[in-house]
Amino acid sequence: MTITKKVLMLPGDGIGPEVMRQVQRVMDWMAKKRDINFDVTEGLIGGASIDAHNNPLTDETLADAMAADAVLLGAVGGPKWDNLPFDIKPERGLLKIRKEMGLFANLRPALVFDALVGASTLKEDVVKGLDIMILRELTGGIYFGQPRGIEERDGVRFGFNTLVYSEPEIERIARVAFDMAMKRNKRLCSVDKANVLESTVLWREVVERVAKDFPEVDVSHMYVDNASMQLVRNPKQFDVMVTTNMFGDILSDCAAMLTGSLGMLPSASLGAADETGARKALYEPVHGSAPDIAGQDLANPLATLLSFAMMLRYSFDLGDDATLIETAVQNVLKGGLRTADIMQPGMAKVSTTVMGESVINELNKLV
């Protein structure tokens, strides 16, 4: 049976289009070898959209995103647009698409491939076999709270943001976290700053209340400063971590380095399930547009390829095909190929393009 899935691709800026091209190859391979067709629309977001429309996310692109079965995004931003007024910066486009699509649950798995154990800056025994899931709340907290701004009061300028969470916002992310813990190792650590911030006093209270519905899950709470230290000291103590928007942003970059590179970390951003069980979804690597290496065929495309695998698993129920891609990635790494960011002594340094080609070669061996 031929399966057709409607995907909106938003390559964005910097290395975004370079890594996205490698996904396009895998999509072509899947159409040919697995009879899974992607009806792909390409759109603009971030700086690319600013250049064309003076707007980091147009209503047309947003409508395309709402109509798609899933969205795949590269990265946004770069020095070219850094001095624009705040409200039309590339990053505003990304925040708007997340908010408008209602993507409150951001899954950021940090998994250490055996072949990359030596690529981490941490000792091998600290990271070997690591497999944790950071669940970041994505549409609330200090990123979106009101009031916000920069104002002058009595001749003094103030910059301010508001960290606010409602009970329903906390409860829905907590439920996703507990469901996830039930499917994994039944261990959940909620990360907050309840010793200082009232918004996270409420966070902790609500997580405790939801925990009563999941008696099998072993729940712990940790302050974010300690959690960042523990992530580097002994990351394997964690299984699922759930936290606020900004804490999750920071902790996931930190977790990325446990895996060897920011270029390895995929993500899925999911909305609430509708009556059919379907969720709005956007998939993107955790890294940014990497202006320092953009346009040089140097970027690691694996985070984006692994984000595509997450799309297959979470949006299209194609877990076997997701596993195929993950296995192909693992085999390429076992074979000793490395982009510059994960380069190790004795390995072969390859470009973005060759890394993509090598994943296809491995897929061909597997099927």
Ligand X SMILES: NC(=O)c1ccc[n+]([C@@H]2O[C@H](COP(=O)([O-])OP(=O)(O)OC[C@H]3O[C@@H](n4cnc5c(N)ncnc54)[C@H](O)[C@@H]3O)[C@@H](O)[C@H]2O)c1
Ligand Y SMILES: CC(C)[C@H](C(=O)O)[C@@H](O)C(=O)O
CB atoms within 10 A of CB 239: 18
Q: How far is the CB of 117 from ligand Y (least distance, A)?
A: 25
- C-alpha closest to that of 99 among 55, 145, 38, 30: 145
Residue 317 is among the residues annotated as catalytic for this protein: no
Q: In this structure, what are the phi and psi dihedrals at residue 104, rounded to the nearest 5 degrees?
A: -80, -15
Separation between Cα atoms, residue 49 and residue 141, nearest integer Å: 26
Place of tokens 């973005």: 352
Check whether 115 is labelled as a binding-site residue: no
Check whether 85 is labelled as a binding-site residue: yes
Residue 251 vs 325, nearer CB to ligand Y: 251
State both tokens at 264: 């390895």
Of 95, 222, 337, 342, the residue at the interface with ligand Y (CB under 6 A) is 95
Separation between Cα atoms, residue 265 and residue 261, nearest integer Å: 8
137 contact, one of Mg ion, ligand Y, ligand X, none, CB 5-8 Å limit per kind: none
Active-site pick, 143, 165, 283, 314? 143
Active-site pick, 13, 165, 192, 193? 193
341 contact, one of ligand Y, ligand X, Mg ion, none, CB 5-8 Å limit per kind: ligand X
State both tokens at 198: 């009232």
Check whether 81 is labelled as a binding-site residue: yes
Q: Between the CA of residue 322 and those of 134, 185, 256, 318, what are the distances in Å?
A: 19, 21, 20, 6
Separation between Cα atoms, residue 239 and residue 130, nearest integer Å: 9
- 279: Cβ–Cβ under 8 A, 6 or more apart, which residues? 270, 271, 272, 273, 314, 315
Region near ligand Y per CB under 6 A, out of 66-74, 78-86, 88-96, 317-325 = 88-96
Place of tokens 């956007």: 282
E-assigned strands of 92-231? 105-111, 131-137, 145-153, 156-162, 187-192, 218-223
For the CA atoms of 135, 94, 251, 165, the dihedral, rounded to the nearest 10 degrees, stands at: -60
Does 71 engage in binding with ligand Y (CB under 6 A)?
Answer: no
What x/- string results for residues 273 through 312 when contact with ligand Y is judged by CB under 6 A?
Answer: -------------x-x------------------------
Residue 253 is among the residues annotated as catalytic for this protein: yes
Residue 120 vs 300, nearer CB to ligand X: 300
224 contact, one of ligand Y, ligand X, Mg ion, none, CB 5-8 Å limit per kind: none
Of 25, 33, 41, 91, the residue at the interface with ligand X (CB under 6 A) is 91
What x/- string results for residues 223 through 252 when contact with ligand Y is judged by CB under 6 A?
Answer: --------------------------x---
Check whether 300 is labelled as a binding-site residue: yes
Q: Which residues face 153 on adjacent strands? A: 156
Residue 225 is among the residues annotated as catalytic for this protein: yes
Residue 193 is among the residues annotated as catalytic for this protein: yes
Check whether 24 is labelled as a binding-site residue: no
Residue numbers in the known binding site for NAD(+) are 78-91, 288-300
Q: Which residues are annotated as a binding site?
A: 78-91, 98, 108, 136, 225, 249, 253, 288-300
Enzyme catalytic residues: 143, 193, 225, 249, 253
Binding residues for substrate: 98, 108, 136, 225
